Amino acid sequence: MSENPMDENFTPQMSGEGEFAEPQGLVGKISRIVGQLEPGHPAREQLLDLCAELSEREDIMDEARETIEKLEAVVAKVTAPANRIGTFLTAFPRFENGRAVLLAQIMVGGQEYFCNVDPRIDLRALRRGTRVLVNEAFVVVGELGYDRAGPVVKISELLGGDRLRVGSGVGESNTVVYRSELLAKEKLKAGDEVRVDAGFRVALEAMARTKQNDYYLDTVPELPWEKVGGQREAISAIREAIEGPLLHPEIYERFHHATPKGFLLYGPPGCGKTLIGKATAWNLTQQLRAKTGEEMREFFMHIKGPEILNMWVGESERMVREIFATAREKRREGFLPFIFIDEAESILGTRRGGRHSSILSTLVPMFCTEMDGLESLHDAVIIIASNRADLIDPAILRPGRIDRKIKVARPTKEGAREIYGLYLTADLPYAPALLAAKGGPQGAADYLADTVIEAQFAHRDENRFLNITLRSGRREVLYRGDLVSGAIIASIVERAKGLAIRRALAGGKDEGISEDDLLFSLEAEYRENDIFPPSDITEDWLHLIDHDAENVVKLAPVRTGGESAGKAPPTVI
């Protein structure tokens, strides 16, 4: 037994075959020397101490080596060039040594590349528009999926297949992009918005339609013809022109009668042109639904003329194309589209005399082209409304585009009575004394309507509004009843309701609308609107009050007491 305790701690390692494995390296050499020495040899103890010390130092060196290797790996990652991000477009085959090898066509930084793909990535699993990682050798080394951000553009045209023409911005040129596989089965149309990749090569996502795209869509309330008062002739004319061809097409075909395309509603402001347009949409849709048995809804596109005018070149024309494209699309979806253009003279005015002549010179032809592209009422119903039809370009109003011109005149005394009857209904609260005297709400409503009509149409001094001198020397006087409109009647009734509400809030005993409320409102309405225009637009003003301006040589407003004096002096035309 050895006298050195180190002899007991020195144990050779076992090999895989069950034999003792000799230590390797310097420790192994010393171990072999120790094995050759006789037990009790004076150098044996020193050599065993040296082996233990060397073994401990080798363990420390191994740990240090592993730490250095890890640090070197970290430094290599930190100093390595960054991977680029590209957009995958398609796979492209290339033949090498008689066999096909797939390459990736990608877009990086606005440049296209055909590059190799890391074998660990399944190239066939990549989809058009997905992002890929590209190393410094332009090898695809990773796949990042679809980008969730990017520019939003508007579709200008569907080019068929998997291509779209989109506009990158107002007034800028268009770009042709591919559909991604996410949009392969998406139903897109001109005017829709899509999100594209940063390189403007692939459309990735269809954006939800915003309210801005439907800025012209207007809700049509339940509006039977009975709710439109004072316009029997206009209603009869438009019903005959529109309802006949659509409800009885077989009769029109027998006579080979051409179906009209468009209609013009013209007349002074506030007389119900917009109301007639909406009533046409609601009633015609209801009748077609009852006749055909199909579930049909109206799509009323209320176009305000000034909304189309845009300072950017080509933007106004694009909006016109979008309006008609939307109408055709809605017709294919089962809607009955109505294109109602209000204040039409502002965008369809004569091209040489309009304030926006540079815009009108291209906007009017665009309207003509789109209107010619509609076959008949079966595609869309076009109704344009104007206070000054004489300012609309003749190319728009010619037969074949606008086939019917319907006058919406100021209501007569009988027509005004109908309108008052629509606003003064039996369900309104009336003054208790009036209810008792007239036998109930309906009697009170009829009495108030008759009373205000007589006061409004009476030819008396306080109702005189304008003195007119004609070329023949004859003089005419316009009274308040000559300037009545549905808007004025509605305003008078609303004023009377406001007076009654004010008393009710103050805790008055006489709650409800009274005769004095209506007469006071009548006077206040005309007094507040008694503004005579400057002399340079007098002729325009005469057109707006629906009076023939050609034979007028002089006019003067009438003030209270019948005196022709006041804010504006007599004007000679």
Whole-angstrom distance, CA of residue 108 vs CA of residue 123: 17
CB contact set of 499 (below 8 Å; sequence gap of 6+)? 513, 517, 520, 521
Q: Can you say how many angstroms the Cα of residue 111 is from the centroid of all Cα atoms in its chain?
A: 34
Whole-angstrom distance, CA of residue 324 vs CA of residue 301: 10
Whole-angstrom distance, CA of residue 230 vs CA of residue 242: 20
Tokens of 313: 């070149």
> For residue 424, what pLDDT is reported?
93
> For residue 421, what pLDDT is reported?
92
Whole-angstrom distance, CA of residue 205 vs CA of residue 197: 10
Q: How many helices (H) and strands (E) does the chain have?
A: 16, 22
CA angle 545, 547, 553 (to 5 degrees): 115
**Of 265, 237, 514, 235, residue with least CA distance to 387:** 265
Quick count: other Cβ atoms within 10 Å of Cβ 149? 9
Task: Report pTM.
Answer: 0.66
Whole-angstrom distance, CA of residue 495 vs CA of residue 387: 26
Residue the block writes with tokens 């209320």:
302
Quick count: other Cβ atoms within 10 Å of Cβ 425? 10
**β-pairing, 217-218 with 297-304?**
antiparallel
Tokens of 375: 């076959």
Whole-angstrom distance, CA of residue 449 vs CA of residue 421: 7
Q: Which CATH class is domain 152-209?
A: mainly beta
Whole-angstrom distance, CA of residue 55 vs CA of residue 62: 11
DSSP string, 269-318: TTSSHHHHHHHHHHHHHHHHHHHH----EEEEEEEEHHHH--SSTTHHHH
CATH code for the structural domain at 84-146: 2.40.50.140
Whole-angstrom distance, CA of residue 326 vs CA of residue 75: 60
pLDDT in single tens digits along all 573 residues of the chain: 444 444 444 445 444 444 444 556 677 777 778 777 777 777 777 777 788 888 888 888 888 889 898 888 887 776 667 788 889 988 888 887 777 778 888 988 888 898 888 888 888 788 888 899 998 888 888 888 888 888 888 888 888 778 899 886 545 678 898 898 888 888 887 778 899 988 888 999 888 765 444 556 667 788 899 889 888 899 999 888 888 888 888 888 888 887 788 899 998 888 889 899 889 888 888 888 888 777 777 788 888 877 777 777 777 887 888 888 888 888 888 788 888 998 888 888 887 644 445 666 778 888 888 888 776 566 788 899 998 888 888 888 888 888 889 999 889 999 999 999 999 999 999 988 888 898 898 999 999 999 999 999 998 888 888 788 877 778 888 888 888 889 999 999 999 999 999 888 887 666 789 999 999 999 988 887 655 555 555 566 666 666 666 677 777 777 654 444 334 444 444
- The kind and range of the H/E element at 43 are helix 42-79
Tokens of 117: 């793909």
Residue 251: φ, ψ to 5°: -70, -40
**Of 545, 409, 525, residue with least CA distance to 466:** 545
For CATH 3.40.50.300, the residue range(s) in the chain are 217-407
Domain 217-407 superfamily per CATH: P-loop containing nucleotide triphosphate hydrolases (3.40.50.300)
Contact 326, 191 (CB under 8 A): yes
Whole-angstrom distance, CA of residue 377 vs CA of residue 511: 51
**Of 259, 129, 107, residue with least CA distance to 203:** 129
Whole-angstrom distance, CA of residue 300 vs CA of residue 285: 11
Whole-angstrom distance, CA of residue 401 vs CA of residue 263: 8
Residue 412: φ, ψ to 5°: -75, -175
> For residue 568, what pLDDT is reported?
43
3-state DSSP assignment of residue 128:
coil
Residue the block writes with tokens 């049509």:
220
Terminal Cα-to-Cα distance of the chain (whole angstroms): 143
For CATH 2.40.50.140, the residue range(s) in the chain are 84-146, 152-209
